[in-house]
Chain A
Amino acid sequence: MDLFEYQGKQFFAEYGMPVSPGEIAFSVDEAVAAAEKLGTPVMVKAQVHTGGRGKAGGVKFAATVDDVREHATNILGLDIKGHIVKRVWIEKASDIAEEYYASFTLDRSAKKHLGMLSKEGGVEIETVAEENPDAIAKIWVDPVVGLSEDDVRGWIAAANLPEAAVEGSVDILQKLYTAYVEGDADMVEINPLILTPEGVVHVLDAKVTLDGNSEFRHPEYSAYDETQTRDEREAAAHEKGLQYVGLDGSVGVIANGAGLAMSTLDVVNQVGGKPANFLDIGGGANADVMAGALEVINNDPNVKSIFINIFGGITRGEEVAEGIIEAMKRVKIDSPIVIRLDGTNAQQGRDMLAPHLGDALMMEPTMLSAAEKAVSLVAG
């Protein structure tokens, strides 16, 4: 779950990290009011779940309230890599002497947390990693052992931060690690972490991704979940608890298990088709889940045929069959369905579907033949 910058800063502030005062605005008038309250100069910053905001004209310095009005007018509604800006963050402007980079994430190969710190902040870390990898100081943290102050001091020394930045960085980096662990984040990133001309270390940007699996111990996540950007199809699927990713083809795909669903997309492509989506109905999918999945696919106007690919483990064949029959009763499915059913109680499921087979519902014995059938139906 990705947070907007302002949410990330609120998250960091909870852990005592120094962030600039600011307010969120959904309209030009709100932006102006926020600037008047904060006092100029301020920054006007587009809030979107993607990088490269500055280059796209989504981050502007405003010396006066008139500037704020002008910039907010231009930025609200701006399209940044397909994300339309609906909110801007108005923040007290900071003077910058130097820009650094700091982050924590999980290193899956090392199975440890990985901290990265660099004197060369303000640009994308991938660029630094490519052009000047020695400029990134890395530290691996065993989650059981944790990160000590001595570790942090050694890390800062390895990154060659100037003396003036050391004490402020020690404090912020320890808090950043605490926020990362206690907040159950997949990733926390400060870019830039700045040193002001007065010698203060300060958090100027915040990029935070939270682990959705941890929501049960973080009631505060629900507020973040409401602001996730999803296309209409994804939002409808999310409400039904389905794992859905919208794509731009015409074969609607329903499968059980992420691996099989991905494999289904591959096979549809291999036989010359284009999948309209990834949809994993998960383990233990019952009739309601299958009916919900079919509704979501049916509402996608690009879908011309539907491929249901089920290999039952937890998911049982008779429940899948029941779900399809139930869904066809509940909603008028506009596209023909091709189903391939194997695994737990598959024969029972196939027997249940047999009397319903026809132009609207077809059954194929293998994944490949079912994909071919579904793709041929798109062509008409």
Chain B
Amino acid sequence: MAIFLDETTKVVYQGLTGSTGRYYGNLNREYGTNIVGGTHPKKAGTDVDGMPIFASVADAKAETGCNASCVFVPPPAVKGAVMEAAEAGMELVVVITEGVPAHDEAWFYNKLAADYPGTRLLGPNCPGIINPGKANIGITAGHIAKPGGPVGVVSRSGTLTYQAVYELKEKDIGVTTSVGIGGDPVPGTNFIDCLAAFEADPETKAIMMIGEIGGSAEEEAAEYIKANVTKPVVSYVAGVTAPPGKKMGHAGAIVSGGKGTAAAKMEALRDAGVQVGLNPTEAGDLMAEIVKNL
């Protein structure tokens, strides 16, 4: 068991014909992800390194029965790609692309919520999702995660996700699923979605949650944990020392008007019974203690 994705998930890649899509499509296939091919409106019938290209996601579904898509198209094309995948009935749409306009994100988030409730969107601007040893959709280096659990990982930041699962592997701790929800203002899947799924997943025994400054997603997650999560949670929040008013790379990562500070987030998490590490290594140590006593 794992959340959102397993080895039976059939994935089509929108943007497989581009250099980034091709590179990661190949890596994901080598990892064991069940990739049915890619899409390109003008290149149907051709292939990319043996992966067939279909004209559209709907065509790919008709031919292969795929139920998930991974989006690597450039920012201007993301809105169209997400809607194409949702209309074709994809259950999971993972958008790796960085730099999507916030108004587009807000629009397709609400459109999906209203008209395509069966489609789970992950991202945009996320590293993807990995079910170690089984399937990997996105740009996570597969070898850094140890398969088998018992820890579920959810994070707003790509490289910090890698850091977290790698710290766990160094301590010989496995991961059930690692989900990168992305650092954008309107992520398709949020902390609470992942916490709920990990809480329900019998293989996941503990949860690692990596947050960062900006917004109030960590505070909302803390409230949810307090009321709904029985499994132990360890957290780390990046940006303790970030100065207010400066955007730290991610569109979401900014402390403004005294809100969204790491200190406030850590306080809310501690208040919910979460163990908070001050850096990724410390968070890994805290998790190692928990796993030892499971």
**CB within 8 Å of B: which residues of A?**
106, 108-109, 111-113, 126, 142-144, 181, 184, 186, 211, 213-214, 216-217, 243, 245, 247, 255-263, 265-267, 269-270, 275, 278, 280, 283-284, 311-314, 342-344, 366-368
Contact = CB atoms under 8 A, between A and B. Distances in A.
Given A213-B100, A258-B253, A108 B76 contact: no
Given A111-B110, A262-B248, A217 B76 contact: yes
A259 to B, nearest CB: 2
Given A313-B158, A343-B141, A266 B278 contact: yes
Nearest to A246: B246
A216 B97 CA distance: 15
Contact of B144 (A111, A211, A278, A343): A343
Contacts of B235: none
Contacts of A112: 106, 110
A343 B262 CA distance: 26
Given A108-B185, A283-B158, A263 B280 contact: yes
Given A243-B249, A313-B139, A313-B162, A257 B110 contact: no
Contacts of A367: 163, 279-281
A260 B157 contact: yes
A278 B249 contact: yes
Instruction: Rank and list the top 9 A-B pairs by shortest CB-CB distance, nearest first.
Output: A259-B157, A258-B249, A257-B159, A260-B159, A259-B160, A262-B238, A214-B101, A262-B239, A280-B249
A283 B127 CA distance: 10
Contacts of B109: 111
B240 A342 contact: no
B99 A213 contact: yes
Contacts, number: 169
B216 interface: yes
Interface residues of B, number: 62
Contacts of A213: 75, 99-102, 251
A247 B250 CA distance: 18
B255 to A, nearest CB: 11
B7 interface: no
Contact of A313 (B102, B159, B183, B217): B159
A3 to B, nearest CB: 16
A263 B238 contact: yes
Contact of B139 (A143, A270, A283, A366): A283
A143 B106 contact: yes
Given A211-B103, A259-B156, A270 B248 contact: no
Contacts of B139: 283, 313-314
B163 A263 contact: yes
Contacts of B100: 213
B241 A106 contact: no
Nearest to B157: A259
Contacts of B127: 313
B250 A259 contact: yes
Given A108-B215, A263-B160, A113 B141 contact: no
Q: Which of A108, A247, A284, A312 counts the most chain B CB atoms within 10 A? A: A108
A265 B111 contact: no
Contacts of A113: 106
B240 A266 contact: yes
Contact of B242 (A265, A311, A342): A265
Nearest to B158: A257
Contact of A266 (B107, B158, B161, B279): B279
Interface string B190-231: 000000000000000000001011011100100000000000
B241 A261 contact: no
Contacts of B76: 216-217
Nearest to A242: B249
A108 B252 contact: yes
Contact of B106 (A111, A257, A265, A267): A111
Contacts of B54: none
Interface in B106-132: 106-107, 109-111, 113-114, 127
Contacts of A366: 281
B110 A142 contact: yes
Contacts of A263: 160, 163, 236, 238-239, 279-280
Most A-side CB within 10 Å, residue of B106, B114, B249: B249
A111 B249 CA distance: 21
30 contacts: A106-B186, A108-B252, A111-B186, A143-B110, A144-B111, A144-B114, A213-B75, A213-B99, A216-B75, A247-B243, A259-B210, A259-B250, A260-B157, A260-B160, A262-B239, A263-B160, A263-B239, A266-B239, A269-B240, A269-B241, A270-B279, A283-B98, A283-B139, A284-B20, A311-B162, A313-B139, A313-B158, A314-B20, A344-B141, A367-B281
